[in-house]
Amino acid sequence: MNKPKMATEKGVPSNSRVLMLLGQLERMNGEAMLKDVETARQVTAKILHLIQTQEKSGKEVMSKGSTGMEVILSSLENSRDVQTTLNILCIVSELLTVGRGRRVGVFVSKGGTGVLFQLLINASKEFPPSEELMLQLHSLLAKVGPKDRKFGVKARLSGALNVTINLMKQNLLNNKLLLPCLQVLRVYSTNLVNAVSLGKNGVVELMFKIVAPYSKKNTSLLKVALDALGALLKSKTNARRAVDGGFVTVLLTLYLDWHRNDTRHRHMLIRKGLLVCLRNITNIKLGRKAFIEADGMRILYNTSTECLPVRTLDPLINTSSIIMRKCFPKNRLPVPTIKSAFHFQLPNVPAAGPVAQLYNQPPGGRKNHQLCNKPLKKVDDVVDESDDNEEADADTENDTENDDDDKDLLVANDDIETDLNKLHPKRNPGRPLEELKVYERFFLELSEDFQGYNFDCSKSASTTSASSPFSSSSATTQSSRPIIVPTAQALSPKHVPVPSSQKDCNSTKGKHTLPSPSAPTPTLPAPLTPLELDTIHLTKDQDKKEKSHIPSPDTGTKLSPSQGQMIQQELANVLERVSLEEAGVLKAEEEGGNGDKQEESPVSATRHIQSPLLLGGIAARRVGGGGSNFGSDCGSEGAEDEGGEGAVLEVPDTALLLPLHDPDLYVEMVKGTRSVPEYAEVAYPDYFGHVAPTFKEPLLERVYGVQRSKIYQDIERLIHPNDILDKAVYDLDIPSCPVIEDNGESLKFNSQFESGNLRKAVQVRKYEYDLVLNSDVNSNHYHQWFYFEVSGMRVGTVYRFNIINCEKSNSQFNYGMQVLMYSVQEAISGRPRWVRTGADICYYKNHFARSSIAAGGQKGKSYYTMTFSTTFSHKDDVCYFAYHYPYTYSTLKMHLAKLEALRTPQIYLRQDNLCETLGGNDCPLLTITAMPESNSNDHICQFRNRPLIFLSARVHPGETNASWVMKGTLEFLMGTSPLAVSLREGFIFKIVPMLNPDGVVNGNHRCSLSGEDLNRQWQNPNPELHPTIYHTKSLLQYLVHMQRTPLVFCDYHGHSRKKNVFMYGCSVKETVWQSNITATSSDLQEDLGYRTLPKILSQIAPAFSMGSCSFVVERSKESTARVVVWREIGVQRSYTMESTLCGCDQGKYKGLQIGTRELEEMGAQFCVSLLRLKRLTGLRNHQHLLDLENDIMTHTKVVSSSTTTYVLEEDEPDFLEAIDYSAESNDEDAEAEIEQVGEILEIPDQLSDSETNHRE
């Protein structure tokens, strides 16, 4: 080291005594120090005394600009006298003790660590080595080590590891010297390479000589020893060495001993240290096996149970839980195969991909028939025997100290598109115009001349549409199967007729054949006189509820000048709120007081309707309001009524509250719906409908310890196996009789109706059931959507339901979301509605192993459990549970038929059948705009030249909220308010309200019958396998050829892991900003109009969050509708609008779960935002929109907008809220993170935006 020159900081007196002594020490450095040993001792002793007695002396040495530390280190290097060296080490120790963080950093930056290691090596060569010197050196190294990122590497390269080990071996009984050695060893071991090296030198065995049974002596030493041992055991090599040495039993015995004797809980850290050692050993398969054989499960379960009453012992309970859950033997799901219980034979199989993999399985279970449940000969869900926690051979482990930050930087932007050629949209019509001319029939409005149309005629003569395939004529497609209403529970299971298609699983079934055209067509009942669909008011003040003027349906809707001014005024103001509440609901809400859930029924009248059961020749029982003849008596009741004239269903008349719902019409629509299992039942909620509750449903507050208690109940299954019933009570893999008879002690389940999903129910305890969801047809995963029926319950009893094969690593069920329940008894009493329900809800990793086939080739993955508890309020009730508000394909057809019936002469509405799906269902295409004022050339020209808006929804069947948003959009567009009139006059809407009817009908969560995610097929859709996507894209390609590219494209989706409503769009500039690619200014030139629509929505829609929006283009999304329509069709405003399945954490609805009223309101607000957009883009040819941001901001308050959120993973990015320890219990990194935050069990809600953006 070069000889430093003493310098003083400005402001420090030059006659400072400590600085003078340091100057003297500096002059003695080198040979002078070796010659004048006594003087060196005296000078260093005086410096030490000053620093110990005067705080300012230490500050002077460590002050900025001072070279005191360099002088001290230089003297330490040059000193050969033990006493002088000890004095200098004491000086350093005193300096680093105060303000340790910054001062230690300075010490390390000056090369202090290397000096200490060199001194340690030199001291070790003395025989015998100075004990005092070794003590001081190791004490200093223990202080410095945690602050030096390369400490472990330096120790290994310098040879210090062996010095410390040998010193420990020679001083096992010298606690004074052993303690600092253990402290340094703890730091050494954080480097995995060092840990492996230490293990080879026998340090693991050495540590087990130090750890001891309960004693009040040397507890500090024992704590440090356990910390060091825990660090050593993170190495898989060392963990195996510990298992081979029989130390798992030793650790369990020690833990039990400390648990029994530490009755006052003064040594919790020692107990925790023992558990950490066990946790690290059980990261390997051998360790888990040894733990089980040593009866570790019972020991930890019993000790943890005894700790539960003491809140301060939570860290012990949490770590014990992690170990027990990790060691819980992996089980396979209680199903014969992870493939769907239903099979649909595809017309052609893709050449590659997951579907091809399914079809390439060995023969044995798969036949060419629609319904098949036999397992494959080679079961495809075997439990992986690999060690899911083992890493590569420990000998090849690399230095991984503090490299996490570097890894994060490498991974962060991995999915962002960096190819500028792909980032610049280039219109690509794809198919030639000759091929696309067949789609001209879907755009009659572009060529219609209305010459034969009488603009003064009545509604019945004014229609311009072809006969709708979704009106009463849909009954011509009905099958001959009986339709059971409301459900099969109306009859005793033994009296339920089994359709012939289900009696024989092996019968071959082809396509549905249409009945003869001469078959009688039932006529629709006369439509009820509904309330206006769009009783919509726009207010600047959220507390005002002034209704806008709504023209009468019997009068024309040509706007007067005053009405035109009103619209202009409304759009110029801040649009705080769009309410979709019908008048009846508004009145009920005003009279409801505080909104108690037990308010009086909103429906007082009842009506008697002939049960549609008779259509199938099956009689049903009478359903009374009291519910006494429901459930347990249903068997005798059903038999008695079989010979009668037919059932009368006494239900409340809710026509005023549900203007678009008709139970009779719904049943007619069901008859034309085709499903793979040939469903013959109608679920009561779909039959009768849903009236949105008038009370608020807040996000569920998390009860402390609830998840832990649920996990412990799961662990009890292994501890007390005799208490487990393990009785299957419902099983779709037994097609002839899925409802298994019992003695009446079990609940009855059913999911055999449209959109239903429940594969199996297993009674594990008297009031607890494990539920297995069915995977998507032609798939072996996507378990998320559920919809099933429960009956036979006891009033007031707490039932626990566990859905055990969820796949996502986290869920909004951990953050306040509840399941939905529909009670038939409540409905009959006048409250037909889905309500949020469930207590003790949590979502965590379980002990059921996922097949590597279903996990994308990844081994060792587990399923997750979503558990909730509930009580039932009514005797003999029939209740339904669902993931989200169901919206079936038949419901859509019914709504479209009702909307058409409500059309006024001024509305141009056409319903076309875009195509037939794989399953034989029609895919509706709607065209909505305003009729021209007359058939003059000017009016016809204006009619044809309106900009197009293209909307779609429900490509993912489990995202039912998308359909409720679409319902709100359709009702608004078909309304008679001035805003709706203006919107129709301004645009032509082309709408595909359900892109995946087959998936919806068959209860899928994400896929169509092809087993593929249709929103990943837009780049190259197959006309046979993906007909709805193929033809929808063709419509857009046709518009490109006709130079009528839509102004806006929006695909409605639902989001399962984020709150609020938000949009994903496409921007070159924002994508480049999020990546590291270099781009010229010309590359970044783009119209900012893509932000306009989300900005407007953030101002008028309380559920919408601009901060959650993202405009980044990712590689993984290049085949989605949003990106393909932007890139190939050239639609700048191409969006995915995501609606939460949970609730909101901002705005008016903050802290509330979202309901159908809010979702429909969002659909209407989207329409209003288009009116704002129309005003802002009023100039022809959609001129450059760079000034629109200022235009928007001048009319509204400032909307906070965070930077673009970068998102990953399909359409549902990772939900980056902090995850409970139990959600990732096998992940070592997660465990370490929890330790750092104090082992807190319960979880916060969401990270702040800044944290989220940083982590993404």
Cis peptide leading into residue 932 (ω within 30°): no
User: 460: pLDDT confidence band, cut at 50, 70 and 90?
Assistant: very low
pLDDT at 80: 84
* Integer angstrom CA distances of residue 557 from 201, 706, 906: 91, 58, 7
Residue 378, pLDDT score: 41
Q: What is the pLDDT of residue 1184?
A: 40
In whole angstroms, what is the distance from residue 534 CA to residue 1165 CA? 12
User: Which class for 560: exposed (0-12), middle (13-18), buried (19 or more C-beta within 10 A)?
Assistant: exposed
Mean pLDDT of the chain: 77
- Kind and range of the H or E run holding 577: strand 577-578
pLDDT attached to residue 1188: 44
User: What count of Cα atoms within 13 Å lies in the side-chain half-sphere of residue 389?
Assistant: 25
- pLDDT of residue 636 exceeding 50, the answer is no
Q: Residue 486: what are its φ and ψ, rounded to 5°? A: -75, -35
Q: What is the arithmetic mean of pLDDT over 93-102?
A: 81
**Which of 35-39, 197-201, 557-561 shows the lowest per-residue confidence on average (mean pLDDT)?**
557-561
HSE-up (13 A, CA, CB side) for residue 524: 21
pLDDT in tens, 974-989: 999 999 999 999 999 9
* Dist. CA 372–CA 677, nearest whole Å: 9
- Range in 523-532, 966-975, 1114-1123 the model is least confident about: 523-532
- 94 as an active site residue: the answer is no
Q: How far is CA 778 from CA 375, 589, 687, 858, 1002, in A?
A: 14, 46, 28, 20, 11
b/e per residue 1089-1103 (b: at least 16 CB within 10 A): bbbbbbbbbbbbbbb
The pLDDT of 1014-1036, averaged and rounded, is: 95
Q: Given pLDDT bands bounded at 50, 70 and 90, which one contains residue 52?
A: confident
Instruction: Choose among 1077, 1132, 1135: nearest CA to 1109.
Output: 1135
- Tell me the residue type at 994: M
pLDDT for res 485: 65
Q: How confident is the model at residue 427 (pLDDT cuts 50, 70, 90)?
A: low
pLDDT at 32: 67
| pLDDT score for 60 | 83
Residues in the chain: 1256
Helices first, then strands: H and E counts in the chain: 46, 22
| pLDDT at 1071 > cutoff 70 | yes
Percent with pLDDT over 70 in the chain: 70
Calculated CA dihedral for residues 559, 901, 755, 618, nearest 10 degrees: 160
555 has pLDDT over 60: no
Q: How do residues 363-409 score in pLDDT, each as one tens digit?
A: 433 333 333 434 333 444 444 444 544 433 333 333 334 443 344 43
Q: What pLDDT is attached to residue 431?
A: 80
- Is 599 a residue whose pLDDT tops 80? no
Burial of 171 (0-12, 13-18, 19+ CB in 10 A): middle
In sequence order, the 6+-apart residues with CB closer than 8 A to the CB of 350 are 356, 1010, 1012, 1022, 1025
Contact 67, 4 (CB under 8 A): yes
The tokens of 752 are what?
């055999």
Task: Please identify which of the residues 60, 582, 589, 1138 carries the catalytic annotation.
Answer: 1138
Q: Find the mean pLDDT for residues 579-600.
A: 40
Helices (H), 474-578: 500-503, 561-572
pLDDT at res. 103: 86
Query: Residue 775 corresponds to which tokens in the numbers above?
Result: 């995977």
Write down the pLDDT at residue 547. Answer: 34
**pLDDT at residue 633 tops 70:** no
Spatial distance between the Cα atoms of 156 and 196, rounded to a whole number of angstroms? 12
pLDDT average, residue stretch 583-591? 39
Which tens digits make up the pLDDT trace of 865-876? 999 999 999 998
Cα–Cα distance, 240 to 199 (Å, whole number): 10
Distance CA 508, CA 1214 (A): 42
pLDDT for residue 798: 96
State both tokens at 446: 């572009």
| Location of structure tokens 């009528």 | 1044
Residues 6+ apart with CB under 8 A from 763: 725, 726, 727, 728, 729, 746, 747, 769
Q: Which one has a higher pLDDT value, 169 or 516?
A: 169
Instruction: Tell me what pLDDT residue 102 has.
Output: 83
172-182 pLDDT, tens digit each: 888 899 999 99
